[in-house]
């Protein structure tokens, strides 16, 4: 397709009409309503599927839902997750789950919030919650370990109770 | 009559030896027939029904000759039902379909039944990733269950002897473990009790598997019912890198696979080599790999400084330089080699020696299957390059020790220089003036020659721990500094061996395949029964 | 004599103080106006309504690490920023801020140095500021500053010609080069912007080019040249470039007010004649500054409206349009003055 270059009049070729129109446009915006969100005071409205920091959850009975199957570690594109698998003690109420993470580290400096860990998790134990402002003074502070992740996650009562009657 | 028969599998013509079953015959043309209970080294049970195939035979006329149809080809009559591939021998003119609709439907049915009572606890199951049930579920599974009733519950995480944990819910009752224990391990201890959905694998209390081959049933279990306590919950198999290796724990030289991730070896499993170990290995060898990632491993060269009265870490160039200086000053060098070292390393060590080159035997009790009385993997190699038994002898003031710790105290007393290459702190490294850290079999290349004269190849599974160097590299560096040889790579070392040792003539590392090469015909005198006297006294002339 | 020195020093201190404050708040204005035009709020965190933002910026710039890259020409690299800021500070000395201030019976002139060749002085020193930029670009010994320096040398020299030629008709009409005289002429007659629109237009556009402002900010051109001549600068050295740019804007605005918008005057009494009382004198200064601020707003307004010119367009505009136009304008004005007015 050949687009014909529009034929400009002499007046248009001075660019002045466009410059003046532009100046008028920007001037009109000065009194308009502002869209700035005053961030620390005004939080953004997050919806349910927002992908913030990944956390681990417990079920209604207090079992750590994660069984350290390491699928999230496998699927994690930036390799931010590192799991040390371990046993559940034989004398604990949740011994029938057999396996739990001895440690579960998410490197929040590497996490890209893609949500693939949540998607792949067969136990629905990891969720991307709403926290997005994750800061720290040292790298170690941003290595979220199992305790911290569980504390952030809290209880997720999904009414499935997979391990209750297993 | 010929010893082979011609048949057609999925339209491909196959020539198979008589008596071969259809699973193996299909394998010849690269067709995989799914199966659970069949194992090539075990008797055939035929109870999993997964290997069902559609088998047709030529219709025979009254004259016992195949009837010819209107298209000029023999008329094939298919059976009304499917046959199990594992127990159907090949026959002349047979026509087999392994993937037609009938077969697929049958397998889908089998899979659905197998999964009815399966707990589907793949997230906590160690077999996940190498599970035949998972694999065939992808191929023939429905993706969802029609089973709404309560599943049958069976014992979970039952100890089955000290080495194995049994999960009966995951068991698909293939009976491979029962047959292995009975036929190979020689302890008839496992069996099924109860009937139907309640059938349970178990053993009589007090008669748990306790042979030296128990862990092979973990390998052959197609699902996660039998798990090894050693590997249980250690690492998911999909993270592990497989490296073909050789078990260094006895002179049999079982072919193995090392499973490692990020510099840590997590398990060792047997690799099929029908000339050496078939599909098996002993638990003694299998579990003896922990020294690879032992936290006490030596990681830097050191010198015992008389002035400081303690150990002084050295860089490698410093260490090599100082050791060679001391070796040059010595009046004679004796070496003590280890038959746990590779042939290449022993060859280089021998070059260092001006006095005796001795090797220390390590023996144990042999069984009549895989475990050899000689508990070193390379005594034949040591003999081949010229090491002998006995005490260090001749005139020497320096002693170089490779991976051994027993040094006679009178020898120790007269030494001016003791240099030790080893993995872990030992009595020898305590006494040594210089210690240079070597690496394990999992970190280096090289060859072992087993008791039967088979040369087999090691591959590095993980990088050397710390600043350790492969032993051959240390020895090559010493020889280069002494001006006694210039080996840039292990290929150079092997090439020199092939030049000087007729038994290895015209070989190189890449010619030694993953299964090794049998050199026994090159040795005139082989005594495979006796434990330590695997002498390689003289070498036959090449034909 | 001593009285002259003391008064001059007081005037210098006052002028520089006021000017630098306005410069600082021009930066503020820039950020506010650009935010408003983009439907944002703009800086509002430091102090009430963000009024202390320039102070925070200044503190930040001073406290930042002063990096002296190892590959630069140390001496030239260091004096570059001062050479940019200095001409603007000198030039403001010859621009009349007010008519005069009657204090204690004395008439204090509203200009530090009432030179008879005021405009020539200004052009001479304005031309110096290109040195700072070229030196900075060259001494940085780095490709982006170098390209920025080259662009600025060509651009500023080209537009200086237009700038110089465009004001000739003004002085032809006024008949003097003294800037106070120009203002007094306008106070008595009419603003020259009405008599000399072509001159004003060319001067205005050239002033944008002369101060490296969008749409003619090619020497900086963040998108192409990272930061142009100031890429390698940090801390207060960068701050001086920044202040230099805004100070030059201030001087150019003040000059335009003086030449075309009647300086301190308004076209009605008592603001159309030199002050005879203190309040009127102060009001004159206020009027002058108000006009300057209005022009500074225009500078900002243009920056956030019009995109950058291409380099060839810039050169074509200067050499092929403006210079012929100014010459025609000079001849035309001369003809009118000779034939009609006389």
3-state SS class at B512: coil
Are B304 and B311 contacting, i.e. CB atoms less than 8 angstroms apart? yes
Q: Inter-axis angle of helices B471-482 and B343-352, to 10 degrees?
A: 30
pLDDT confidence of residue B524:
56
pLDDT of residue B449: 93
A18 CB neighbours in chain C (<8 A) are none
Band (pLDDT 50/70/90 cuts) for residue B307 is low
Band (C270; pLDDT cuts 50, 70, 90): confident
Beta bridge pairs of residue B310: B305
Q: What proportion of chain B, given as a percentage, has pLDDT over 70?
A: 95
Residue C310 pLDDT: 85
CB atoms within 10 A of CB A41: 6
Average pLDDT on B321-328 reads 92
What b/e sequence results for B264-286 when a residue is b if at least 16 CB atoms lie within 10 Å of its CB, and e otherwise? ebbbbbbbebeebbbbbbbbbbb
d(CA C18, CA C263): 17
Using CB atoms, which chains have 3+ pairs under 8 A with C? A
Q: Which of A23, A31, A34 sits opposite C301 (nearest CB)?
A: A23
Question: How much is the average pLDDT of C137-165?
Answer: 87
Q: What is the pLDDT of residue B533?
A: 38
Task: Determine the pLDDT at residue B317.
Answer: 94
Q: Is A87 on the interface with B (CB under 8 A)?
A: yes
Which residues of A are less than 8 Å from C302 in CB distance?
23
| Cβ partners under 8 Å of residue B510, min gap 6 | none
Confidence of residue B2 (pLDDT cuts 50, 70, 90): low
Tell me which chain C residues have a C-beta less than 8 angstroms from the C-beta of A23: 301-302, 305-306
Is chain A touching chain B, with at least 3 CB–CB pairs below 8 Å?
yes
Identify the pLDDT of residue B1.
53
The SS3 call for residue B318 is: helix
pLDDT tens by residue, A33-71: 888 888 888 888 888 789 999 999 998 888 999 999 999
Query: CB burial class (10 A; 0-12, 13-18, 19+) of residue B459?
Result: middle
pLDDT tops 60 at residue B164: yes
Task: Give the tens place of pLDDT for each residue, B510-540.
Answer: 999 999 999 888 875 444 434 333 433 333 3
C70's CB contacts (< 8 A; 6+ apart) are none
Å from B219 to nearest chain A CA?
A: 20
Q: What does the pLDDT read at residue C342?
A: 62
Q: pLDDT tens, A108-118? A: 999 999 999 99
The model's pLDDT over B435-444, given as tens digits with 9 standing for 90+, comes to 999 999 999 9
- Straight-line distance from the first to the last Cα atom of chain A, in angstroms, rounded to the nearest whole number: 68
Instruction: Sort B315 into a burial class: Cβ within 10 Å, 0-12 / 13-18 / 19+.
Output: exposed
Q: Are C129 and C117 in contact, with CB atoms under 8 Å apart?
A: no
User: How does DSSP assign B97-152, residue by residue?
Assistant: ESSSHHHHHHHHHHHHHHHHS----GGG-TTTTS-HHHHHHHHH--SS----SPPP
B387-419 pLDDT per residue, tens: 988 888 888 999 999 998 888 888 888 888 999
Confidence category of residue B193, pLDDT binned at 50, 70, 90: very high
pLDDT recorded at residue B536 = 37
Which residues, 6 or more positions from B504, have their beta carbon under 8 angstroms from its beta carbon? Answer: B384, B455, B494, B497, B498, B519
Q: Assess contact for A100 and A87: CB atoms under 8 A.
A: yes
For residue A48, count CB atoms less than 10 angstroms from its CB and return exposed for 0-12, middle for 13-18, buried for 19 or more: exposed
Per-residue pLDDT of C22-58, as tens digits, reads 888 888 889 889 899 999 988 888 888 888 988 898 8
CB–CB of C136/C230 below 8 Å? yes
Give φ, ψ of A88 to 5 degrees: -90, 135
Q: Give which of A65, A66, A69, A74 to mutate to test B binding, by max B Cβ within 10 Å.
A: A69
Q: What percent of chain C has pLDDT over 70?
A: 99
Please state the rounded mean pLDDT for residues B193-216.
Answer: 92
pLDDT number for residue B537: 34
> Measured between CB atoms, does A71 come within 8 Å of chain B?
yes
**CA end-to-end distance (rounded Å), chain C:** 43
Residue-wise pLDDT for B107-151, tens only, equals 999 999 999 999 888 999 999 999 999 999 999 998 888 988 888
Is B71 in contact with B133 (CB distance < 8 Å)? no
Q: Which is higher by pLDDT, C113 or B119?
A: B119
Closest of B485, B515, B540, B532 to residue B347, by C-alpha: B485
Report which secondary-structure segment, H or E, holds C62: helix C53-63
CA–CA separation, A2 vs C113, rounded Å?
A: 63
Q: Provide, rounded to the nearest whole percent, the portion of chain B with pLDDT above 90.
A: 70
Token pair 């009349």 is at which residue? C96
Q: What is the pLDDT of residue C313?
A: 86
Residue C98 has pLDDT above 70, yes or no: yes
Distances (CA, A) of C14 to C8, C19, C21, C83: 10, 8, 11, 22
User: E strands within B250-316?
Assistant: 255-261, 264-270, 302-305, 310-313
Which residues, 6+ apart, have CB-to-CB distance to B339 below 8 Å? B359, B360, B361, B362, B374, B376, B377, B378, B379, B381, B382, B387
Does B451 score more than 70 pLDDT?
yes
Q: Does C301 touch chain A (CB under 8 A)?
A: yes
B448, β-bridge pairs: B456
Which tokens is B360 given? Answer: 């220390």
Pick from B122, B128, B233: which is nearest to A85 by CB? B233
pTM value?
Answer: 0.75
**Per-residue pLDDT averaged across B68-85, rounded?**
89
Collapse the DSSP code of B398 into the 3-class scheme (helix H, G, I; strand E, B; otherwise coil) and give the result: strand
Q: What was the pLDDT predicted at B538?
A: 32
Q: Give me the pLDDT at residue B309, please.
A: 66
Q: Residue B245 pLDDT > 90, yes or no?
A: yes
| Residues of chain A contacting residue B122, judged by C-beta atoms under 8 Å apart | 69, 122
CA distance B309 to B318: 19
pLDDT band at C283 (very low <50, low <70, confident <90, very high): confident
- Residue A160, token pair as written in the block: 């499935």
ipTM: 0.80
């Amino acid at each position: 397709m050949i687009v014909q270059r529009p034929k400009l009049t002499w007046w248009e070729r001075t660019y002045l009409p466009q410059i003046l129109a532009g100046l008028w446009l920007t001037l009109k915006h000065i009194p308009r309503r502002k869209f700035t969100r005053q961030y620390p005071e005004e939080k953004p409205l997050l919806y349910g599927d927002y992908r913030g920091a990944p956390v681990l959850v417990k079920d209604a009975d207090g079992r750590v839902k994660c069984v350290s199957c390491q699928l999230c570690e496998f699927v994690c594109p930036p390799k931010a997750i590192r799991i040390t698998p371990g046993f559940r003690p034989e004398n604990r109420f949740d011994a029938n789950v057999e396996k739990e993470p001895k440690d579960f580290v998410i490197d929040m400096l590497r996490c890209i919030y893609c949500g693939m860990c949540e998607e792949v998790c067969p136990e629905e134990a990891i969720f991307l919650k709403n926290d997005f402002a994750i800061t720290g003074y040292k790298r170690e502070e941003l290595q979220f370990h199992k305790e911290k992740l569980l504390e952030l996650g809290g209880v997720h009562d999904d009414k499935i109770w997979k391990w209750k009657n297993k | 009559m010929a010893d082979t028969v011609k048949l057609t599998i999925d339209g491909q013509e196959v020539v198979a030896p008589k008596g071969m079953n259809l699973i193996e015959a299909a394998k010849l043309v690269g067709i995989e027939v799914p199966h659970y209970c069949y194992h090539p080294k075990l008797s055939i049970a035929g109870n999993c029904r997964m290997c069902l195939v559609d088998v047709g035979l030529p219709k025979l006329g009254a004259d016992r000759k195949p009837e010819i149809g209107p298209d000029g080809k023999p008329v094939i009559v298919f059976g009304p039902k499917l046959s199990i591939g594992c127990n159907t021998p090949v026959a002349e003119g047979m026509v087999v379909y392994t993937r037609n609709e009938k077969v697929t439907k049958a397998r889908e049915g089998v899979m659905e039944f197998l999964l009815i009572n399966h707990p589907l606890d793949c997230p906590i199951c160690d077999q996940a990733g190498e599970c035949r049930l998972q694999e065939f579920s992808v191929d023939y599974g429905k993706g969802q269950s029609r089973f709404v009733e309560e599943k049958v519950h069976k014992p979970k995480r039952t100890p089955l002897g000290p080495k194995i944990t049994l999960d009966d819910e995951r068991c698909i009752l293939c009976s491979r473990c029962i047959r292995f224990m009975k036929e190979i391990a020689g302890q008839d201890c496992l069996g099924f009790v109860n009937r139907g959905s309640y059938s349970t694998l178990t053993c009589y209390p007090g008669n748990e598997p306790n042979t030296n081959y128990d862990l092979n049933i973990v390998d052959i279990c197609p699902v996660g019912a039998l798990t090894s306590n050693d590997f249980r919950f250690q690492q998911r198999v999909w993270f592990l890198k497989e490296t073909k290796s050789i078990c260094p724990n006895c002179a049999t030289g079982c072919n193995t696979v090392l499973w490692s991730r990020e510099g840590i070896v997590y398990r060792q499993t047997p690799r099929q080599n029908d000339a050496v170990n078939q599909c098996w290995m002993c638990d003694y060898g299998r579990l003896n790999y922990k020294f690879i990632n032992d936290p006490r491993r030596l990681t830097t060269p050191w010198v015992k400084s008389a002035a400081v009265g303690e150990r002084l870490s050295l860089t490698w160039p410093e260490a090599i330089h100082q050791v060679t200086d001391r070796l040059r000053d010595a009046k004679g060098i004796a070496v003590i080699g280890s038959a746990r070292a590779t042939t290449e390393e022993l060859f280089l060590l021998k070059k260092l020696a001006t006095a005796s080159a001795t090797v220390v035997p390590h023996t144990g009790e042999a069984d009549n299957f895989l475990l050899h009385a000689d508990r070193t993997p390379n005594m034949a190699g040591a003999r081949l390059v010229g090491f002998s038994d006995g005490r260090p002898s001749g005139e020497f003031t320096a002693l170089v020790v490779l991976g051994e710790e027993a040094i006679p105290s009178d020898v120790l007393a007269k030494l001016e220089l003791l240099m030790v290459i080893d993995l872990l702190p030992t009595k020898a490294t305590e006494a040594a003036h210089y210690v240079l850290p070597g690496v394990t079999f999992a970190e280096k290349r090289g060859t072992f020659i087993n008791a039967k004269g088979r040369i087999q190849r090691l591959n590095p599974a993980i990088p050397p721990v710390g600043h350790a160097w492969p032993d051959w590299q240390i020895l090559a560096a010493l020889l280069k500094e002494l001006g006694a040889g210039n080996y840039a790579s292990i290929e150079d070392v092997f090439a020199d061996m092939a030049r000087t040792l007729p038994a290895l003539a015209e070989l190189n590392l890449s010619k030694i395949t993953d299964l090794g090469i049998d050199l026994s015909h090159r040795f005139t005198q082989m005594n495979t029964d006796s434990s330590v006297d695997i002498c390689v006294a003289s070498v036959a002339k090449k034909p | 004599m001593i009285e002259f020195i003391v008064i001059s020093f007081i005037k210098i201190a006052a002028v520089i103080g006021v000017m630098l404050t306005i410069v600082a708040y021009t930066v503020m204005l820039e950020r506010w106006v650009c935010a408003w035009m983009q439907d944002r709020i703009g800086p509002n965190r430091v102090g009430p309504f963000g009024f202390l933002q320039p102070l925070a910026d200044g503190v930040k710039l001073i406290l930042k690490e002063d990096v002296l890259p190892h590959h630069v020409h140390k001496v030239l690299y260091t004096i570059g920023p001062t050479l940019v800021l200095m001409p603007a500070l000198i030039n403001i000395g010859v621009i009349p801020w007010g008519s005069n201030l009657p204090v204690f019976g004395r008439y204090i002139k509203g200009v530090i140095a009432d030179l008879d060749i005021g405009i020539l002085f200004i052009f001479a020193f304005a031309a110096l500021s290109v040195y700072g930029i070229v030196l900075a670009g060259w001494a940085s010994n780095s490709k982006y500053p170098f390209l920025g320096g080259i662009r600025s040398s060509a651009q500023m020299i080209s537009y200086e010609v237009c700038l110089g030629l465009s004001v000739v008709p003004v002085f032809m009409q006024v008949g003097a080069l003294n800037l106070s005289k120009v203002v007094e002429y306008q106070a008595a007659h009419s603003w020259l912007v009405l008599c000399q629109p072509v001159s004003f237009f060319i001067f205005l556009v050239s002033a944008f080019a002369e101060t490296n402002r969008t749409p003619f900010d090619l020497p900086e051109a963040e998108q192409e040249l990272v930061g142009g001549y100031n890429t390698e600068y940090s801390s207060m050295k960068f701050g001086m470039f920044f202040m230099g740019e805004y100070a030059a804007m201030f001087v150019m605005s003040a000059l335009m007010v003086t030449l075309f918008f009647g300086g301190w005057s308004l076209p009605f009494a008592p603001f159309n004649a030199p002050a005879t009382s203190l309040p009127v004198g102060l009001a004159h200064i206020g009027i002058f500054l108000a006009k300057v601020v209005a022009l500074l707003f225009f500078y900002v307004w243009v920056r956030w409206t019009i995109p950058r010119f291409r380099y060839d367009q810039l050169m074509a505009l200067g050499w092929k349009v403006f210079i012929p136009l100014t010459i025609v304008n000079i001849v035309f004005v001369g003809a009118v003055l000779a034939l009609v007015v006389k």
